[in-house]
């Protein structure tokens, strides 16, 4: 399906025909927020949590939510139903809207709403079995990383850094402490304890963050949210990534050095199995 139907401001239209005015503040300023929601077997996974984060993101940049929860679910369903794939990844974006270019918020502007979907692309069988390589870099992004903002320049530069090193992700550190990767949260395991950075303004709280909390509780995996040093990451028994498209994914090499025994570890295997069960539930 190379020209799927997408939703733009009240209309379903082929992607190739979806157009926005150049003065849209998303285009001019990156003034907007987005969500990425996985769909398995034509069912949204963690829909409530994704919509709650969407509403938080909108509130955090003072865009009036243009739709009720039921309306959002209906719109996403419509876009999903128009696509032939059973497993999809819905992308939705809300910008402040179209206005004369001036930095401060314009008055009486209507938000732009765009929803598209694509078949979900999950990690390859080889990546699952063997784990992946990542590189590290200093986190130079702004201090509001908890907002799922479409202004993604810092994340783009981090992703490009990974691509240039044939790595899956750049794992970032701020002042010597682990934050997150360019498009995923990062976890370490030491002596059977899973650890992740605290949910604060330095990371985006992935929907998988909450899911992993639940899976840990249900599977007797001790979990700690705390600041994690660079040394602790390199000395970890396991490192893993989580995101809508990576689900959970083991990192076995960091800056060319092996993590643990260089293979996906026991906690990863447990969490991956639990994740697949949660998807199927
Ligand atoms: C910067 C960043 N952190 C974390 C995540 C993980 O979020 P989620 O689990 O909701 O996919 C993402 C997802 O794209 C991200 O871009």
Residue nearest ligand 1's atom 3 by CA:
184
At 84-114, the pLDDT tens digits run 999 999 999 999 999 999 999 999 999 999 9
The DSSP bridge pattern shows strands 132-138 and 169-174 to be parallel
Q: Which of 79, 69, 76 is nearest to 12 (CA)?
A: 79
pLDDT digits (tens, 9 = 90+) for 195-246: 999 999 999 999 999 999 999 999 999 999 999 999 999 999 999 999 999 9
* The predicted structure's pLDDT at residue 272: 98
Q: Residue 234 has what pLDDT?
A: 98
Residue 2: pLDDT band (50, 70, 90) is confident
Kindly give the distance from the C-alpha atom of residue 100 to the centroid of ligand 1, in angstroms, as a whole number: 32
Share of the chain above pLDDT 90, in %: 99
For tokens 């992607």, the residue is 15
pLDDT of residue 31: 98
Which residue's CA lies nearest to atom 7 of ligand 1? 206
Can you say whether residue 9 is alpha, beta or left, with left for phi > 0 and alpha for psi between -120 and 50 degrees?
left
Tokens standing for residue 105: 């918020």
Class of domain 125-280: alpha beta
CA–CA distance, 171 with 15 (Å, rounded to integer) = 33
Instruction: Indicate which atom in ligand 1 lies nearest the CA of residue 203.
Output: 3
Q: What SS3 class is residue 250?
A: strand
In this predicted structure, what is the pLDDT of residue 10? 97
Measuring CA to CA, which residue among 129, 128, 42 is closest to residue 88?
42
The pLDDT-based confidence of 12 (bands split at 50, 70, 90) is very high
Rounded average pLDDT over 24-48: 98
Given the residues 43, 69, 148, 279, the one annotated as active site: 148
Q: Stretch 66-75: mean pLDDT, rounded? A: 98
pTM: 0.97
Is 107 a catalytic site residue? Answer: no
Domain ranges of the chain: 5-119, 125-280
Q: Please give the average per-residue pLDDT across 122-131, as a whole number.
A: 98
Percent of the chain with pLDDT over 70: 100
Give the whole-angstrom CA distance, residue 277 versus residue 149.
31
For ligand 1, the distance from its centroid to the CA atom of residue 108, given in whole angstroms, is 31
Going by alpha carbons, the residue nearest to atom 2 of ligand 1 is 183
Distance 198 CA to ligand 1 centre (A): 14
Pocket of ligand 1 (CB under 6 A): 36, 155, 180, 183-185, 204, 206-208, 242-244
Centre of ligand 1 to C-alpha 131, Å, is: 19
Choose the CATH number for 5-119 among 3.30.413.10, 2.40.50.140, 3.30.470.10, 3.40.462.20: 3.30.470.10
Q: Give yes or no for residue 248 having a pLDDT over 90.
A: yes
């Amino acid at each position: 399906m190379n020209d799927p139907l997408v939703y733009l401001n009240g209309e379903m239209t082929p992607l190739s025909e979806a157009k926005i005015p150049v003065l849209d503040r998303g285009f001019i300023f990156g003034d907007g927020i987005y969500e990425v929601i996985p769909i398995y077997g034509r069912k949204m996974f963690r829909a409530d949590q994704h919509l709650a984060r969407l509403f938080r993101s909108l509130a955090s940049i003072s865009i009036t939510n243009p739709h009720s929860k039921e309306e959002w679910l209906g719109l996403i369903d419509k876009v999903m139903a128009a696509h032939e794939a059973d497993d999809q990844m819905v992308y939705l974006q809300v910008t402040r809207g179209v206005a004369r270019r001036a930095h401060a918020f314009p008055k009486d502007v209507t938000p732009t709403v765009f929803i598209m979907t694509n078949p979900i692309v999950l990690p390859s069988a080889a990546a699952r079995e063997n784990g992946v390589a990542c590189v590290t870099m200093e986190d130079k992004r702004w201090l509001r990383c908890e907002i799922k903002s479409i202004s993604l320049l810092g994340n783009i530069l981090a992703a490009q850094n990974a691509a240039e090193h044939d790595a899956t992700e750049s794992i970032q550190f701020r002042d010597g402490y682990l934050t997150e990767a360019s498009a995923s949260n990062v976890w370490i395991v030491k002596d059977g304890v899973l650890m992740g950075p605290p949910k604060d303004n330095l990371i985006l709280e992935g929907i998988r963050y909450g899911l992993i909390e639940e899976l840990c509780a249900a599977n007797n995996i001790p979990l700690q949210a705390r600041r994690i040093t660079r040394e602790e990451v390199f000395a970890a028994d396991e490192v893993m990534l989580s995101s809508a498209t990576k689900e959970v994914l083991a990192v076995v090499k960091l800056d060319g050095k092996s993590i643990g025994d260089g293979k996906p570890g026991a906690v990863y295997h447990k969490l991956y199995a639990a994740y697949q069960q949660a998807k199927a539930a």
